[in-house]
Structure 1
Amino acid sequence: MKRAFSLREKYEICLERRTQLEAGKKLKLEEFGLLFPGRDGKGISTSTLSDILSNSKEILMHPP
């Protein structure tokens, strides 16, 4: 079952990605997803991250 992320969670994910990129760190999505483990201990799937990050400009313009 796919997990639904709140706007705050999406914002934090996008902000962390932007911060890392500005610091010159370019983690693969698989690695980046592990920074946000779920209850199962696994990270966010690459497809979910891709969906969230594709809207990062809009998400970051409207903080929760």
Structure 2
Amino acid sequence: MGEVNDFGRRNPAVFLGGAALTGFAAVRAARASQRDRGAGNGDPASSAVHPETLARDEDT
């Protein structure tokens, strides 16, 4: 942990940029996993069928 503190003191801009990127990646991963879990929970909004899909299915 001391190495991380030293790096942050020597390169504050790089450290803060990396922390911001890590935060954005964590939020995106959390939102993506939330969408995946919502697909089968009975919520009509999360399992809505798009009109293009219906039109394709009717053509076959």
TM-score normalised according to structure 2 size: 0.32
Bigger share in helix: 2
Whose Rg is larger? 2
TM-score normalised according to structure 1 size: 0.30
